[in-house]
Structure formats: structure tokens, C-alpha cells
Amino acid sequence: MKPVMTLCAALLAAPVLAQENPDIEALLFEENCAVCHGTGGKGDGPMTEMLVAEVPDITGLSARNEGAFPMLYVIQTIDGRSGMRPHDSVMPRFGRRFLDDLFPLIGPYGAEAMIRGRTLSIAQYVERIQE
């Protein structure tokens, strides 16, 4: 079982590792978030035209939090499995989405580790784009 998990992890990482200096945080944000939030996080992604709810500008999270980036809140919001999100949130629960993709490939523990890594990477990118 271990060789299969190692192979799966290597195959999942291969496209990123093939790049010279990948910005994994930016790549994950682009792949999962930019369609709604836009590449700069301003809430101006191409999907916004089709949504009823307004997509927030996430570049001002630190400014709205007395200059401190709310890392735990952002991680929980992205993951969506903790129950800490607003009831009317239309944002996908990426923790569940990542789990559905990864669980069949690497099992529960490997999937959870990858989910946490992806979620943290996206949150770190959001922290980088604060104004």
C-alpha cells in the first residue's frame, strides 16, 4: 500500500515539479478561487456575472481586521468543513471538494494532509495580496 501512496503523491506533484520555480500558492489560487475572486482577489472574476451573491474583495481582509491577517478564519472559510462559515455562503467547501478528489488516490490520512497543505497555500496567497 505504501508504494501505491508514494506513487500517487509523486504523480500528483509531477506537473508542478516540472516547472522551474512554481508559485504553488498562486497556482492553487488561480485554479480554485480566481474564477470568482479574480486573479488579484478583487471579486471581479469571470463567474461573478452569473452569481446572485456579491463576491467580496479579499484584498482588504487585514485592513478590516485592524491590520492583522485573519489566517485561521481564512483557512476555515476555504476548507468549509468546520461549520464556521456564514449560513448564506455560496462559496464552495474546498475541503470537501479536495477530499473527494484525493481520498480514492491516497486514502484518508494522505488526503487530509494534502487538503491542509492546499488550504494553507491558498490562505498564504490571500495574505500576500493584502493591500
* 94: confidence class by pLDDT, cuts 50, 70, 90: very high
C-alpha cell, 21: 520555480
Cα gap 129→59, rounded to integer Å: 6
Whole-angstrom CA distances from 14 to 2, 17, 24, 72, 114 are 18, 5, 12, 29, 15
> What pLDDT was estimated at residue 21?
72
Whole-number mean pLDDT of the chain? 87
DSSP output for 50-74: G-SSPPP-GGGTTGGGTT---HHHH
Using DSSP, state whether 80 is helix, strand or coil: coil
Of the chain, the end-to-end C-alpha distance in Å amounts to 46
pLDDT digits (tens, 9 = 90+) for 3-42: 555 555 555 665 555 556 789 999 999 999 999 999 999 9
pTM value?
A: 0.80
pLDDT digits (tens, 9 = 90+) for 64-82: 999 999 999 999 999 998 8
> What pLDDT was estimated at residue 12?
60
Q: 81 or 111, which is more confident? A: 111
> What pLDDT was estimated at residue 91?
87
Phi, psi of 44 (to 5 degrees): -120, 35
Cα gap 131→117, rounded to integer Å: 24
Give me the residue spans of the domains in the chain. 23-128
Cα gap 85→8, rounded to integer Å: 32
> What pLDDT was estimated at residue 113?
96
* 50: confidence class by pLDDT, cuts 50, 70, 90: very high
Q: Is the dihedral of CA 63, 66, 68, 71 positive or negative?
A: negative
Whether the per-residue pLDDT at 101 is higher than 80: the answer is yes
